[in-house]
A = this chain, B = another copy of it.
C-alpha cells in the first residue's frame, strides 16, 4: 500500500469524527474542518472509481463518464450549498474553482516539475482549443454581470432568463467539445489519453461491480459530509474572521479540487506535462462549461434562483486568471519561473479576496 493510500485511509477517520462533532455539538468550527478533511479521500476514490469504470465501458462511454463525474465533488458541494440558499457562496466557489485550477494547480505543477526539469513541453494545440473554450465560458459569465453593472435597474427576472439561455448554450458547447475530443478530432488528444491509462490503470481488468459500489458509497458520503460542511460554514467562517466571498473563492475550491491538485502535481514531477496541463485546464473548462450551467438550471428547479451575475471583482479575477494562464500555456513550454508567476498571481488574488469587504452577505 502506497503512502498516499495510507494517508487517505487515515483521513477516512474524519467521517465518524465529523458526524460525532455534528451530533454531539462540538462546535461549528470543528464540524467544518473535519467534514472538509473527510471529503478529501472520498473525492480521490470517486475519481479512481470513475477511471476504473471508464476502462471497462470503453473509451467513448468512459470519456463521457469522466467528463460528467470528473468534477462530481464540486458539483455535490455546490448543489447542497445551493439547496441551503447559499447562492453567493456557490457562485464564489465557481469562480474560485476556475482560478485555483488555472493558477494554483497549474502553477504548482509547473514550479515543482520545473525544479526537476529545466524545460517541460506539452502539446500547445490542446491547450489552445481549451483556451478558446475557456474564453467563451468567460464571455458567457461576463455578459450578465456586465449587463447588470452597466445598465442599472435590470430586473432579477431578466438576469435569470439570460442566465438560463446562456447556460443552455454552454452545455451544448460542452457536448460539442466532447464530440470533438472523443470522436472527430480524437487523434489530437491521443497522447494525453494514453498517458492517463498507463498512469492510472496499470492492472488489466477492473471489477466493475466493486468500483460502481465504491462510486455509489463515496457519492453518498460526500453528500452527507457536504451537508455538514455547508451547515457549519456560516458560523465557522465568521469565527475564523473570513468573509463568505473568501470562503467561497479560496477555501471551498481547495477542498473540492484536492484530487486534481494531487494528480496534476504528481504527473508534472514525472515530466508528463501534457497530462498535467490537461487536468488543470480541462477541469476549469468543465467547471465553466458544465458545472456552472448545471447549477444555474438546478437553482431554477430547486427554487433557489442562481443567475450568472457575479460580483464584478470575481469576474475581474477570472478574466485575469484566464489571460495569464493562456499567455503562459500558449507556447507549449513551461519552466519554474512560469509556475512561480502563476502562484504569485494566485497569491495576490488571495490577498485581494481576503481584504475584500463582504458586501452582500452569505446568501
Task: For A154, give its contact among B125, B176, B326, B357 (CB under 8 Å).
Answer: B357
Q: How large is the interface on A (under 10, 10 to 19, 20 to 34, 35 or more residues)?
A: 35 or more
Which B residues are CB-close (under 8 A) to A142?
A: 316, 320
Asked if B132 and A173 make an inter-chain contact with CB atoms under 8 angstroms apart, the answer reads no
Task: For A313, give its contact among B150, B180, B356 (CB under 8 Å).
Answer: B150
17 residue pairs A–B, Cβ–Cβ below 8 Å: A128-B331, A132-B324, A132-B328, A132-B338, A132-B341, A133-B341, A135-B323, A147-B356, A150-B312, A151-B357, A158-B355, A162-B352, A169-B344, A172-B344, A173-B341, A177-B337, A185-B337
Given the interface contacts A147-B356, A166-B348, does A139 sit within 8 Å of B173 by beta carbon?
no
Give A278 Cβ to nearest chain B Cβ, in Å. Answer: 16
A78 at the interface (CB under 8 A from B): no
Beyond A132-B327, A136-B344, A326-B327, list 10 extra A-B contacts (CB 8 Å). Answer: A125-B331, A135-B323, A142-B320, A143-B316, A143-B348, A143-B352, A151-B311, A158-B355, A169-B348, A180-B335
Q: A140 vs B133: C-alpha distance in the bound complex, in angstroms?
A: 26
Within 320-359 of A, Cβ neighbours of B (below 8 Å) are at 320, 323-324, 326-328, 331, 335-338, 340-341, 344-345, 347-349, 351-352, 355-357, 359
Which B residues are CB-close (under 8 A) to A15?
A: none
Which B residues are CB-close (under 8 A) to A61?
A: none
Which B residues are CB-close (under 8 A) to A323?
A: 135
Copies per complex?
3
Return the chain B residue nearest A314 by Cβ: B150
Give A245 Cβ to nearest chain B Cβ, in Å. Answer: 10
A26 at the interface (CB under 8 A from B): no
Task: For A345, give its contact among B139, B151, B344, B352 (CB under 8 Å).
Answer: B139
Asked if A140 and B348 make an inter-chain contact with CB atoms under 8 angstroms apart, the answer reads yes
A19 at the interface (CB under 8 A from B): no
A131 at the interface (CB under 8 A from B): yes
Asked if A336 and B184 make an inter-chain contact with CB atoms under 8 angstroms apart, the answer reads yes
Return the chain B residue nearest A165 by Cβ: B351
A118 at the interface (CB under 8 A from B): yes
A129 at the interface (CB under 8 A from B): yes
Give A129 Cβ to nearest chain B Cβ, in Å. Answer: 7
A146 at the interface (CB under 8 A from B): yes
A153 at the interface (CB under 8 A from B): yes
